[in-house]
Amino acid sequence: MNTADLGYDGKVAIITGAGGGLGRQHALLMASRGALVVVNDLGGAVDGSGSDKGAAQKVVDEIISLGGEAVADTNSVSTPEGGEAIVAGAVKAFGRVDIVINNAGILRDKSFHNMDPSLMNPVFDVHLKGAFHVTQPAFVLMREQGYGRIVSTSSAAGIFGNFGQTNYGAAKMGLVGFTRVLAVEGAKYNIKANAIAPLAL
């Protein structure tokens, strides 16, 4: 199939961390192919501190200006309640959830001998636990409707290693195991799961 033929008309896509960078590109692409997009982004700094509700809305405005449909969501993926709220918001806005792209992320880099829980736990909470928190309530809906697509953003830092990123690398490789199990469990319900591992220089 030619990629130009890939369409998502009427499919509802939740994209976390979609207020900028790779997540924004996911959102714009999905919208251009007809998806109804939930642009989730807390709008915090790279280390996860703070928030800016405008980040998600800017991407929504961009999608709408290009003729697409989207809504902003500023819940945090780092808690079960946040994940449930993101999925509930998608259902409220568009009636269903078909696609989840786990892309939210933060960085708290430090060499391993200086790593401590304040640097490790928040990274796990957003990257790995965040994927659990958003995907699990969506997966329940996907099973019921017999359709779902899940994409999680891993990283070359986990596969090959990168100085100062034991926390990030471990969380990102955790997403690979998470994805493989979802693919097995989702197969008979027409739920497909994949992980991507971008490398930026």
The residues assigned a catalytic role are 168
The token duo for 125 is 């909470």
Question: CA-CA distance, 171 to 199, in Å (whole number)?
Answer: 16
SS (H, E, C) 90-122: HHHHHCCCCEEEECCCCCCCCCHHHCCHHHHHH
Which amino acid is located at 173 in the chain? Answer: M
CA distances from 75 to 41, 42, 86, 114, 126 (A): 7, 6, 6, 31, 12
Within 13 Å of residue 159, how many CA atoms lie on the same side as its CB? 10
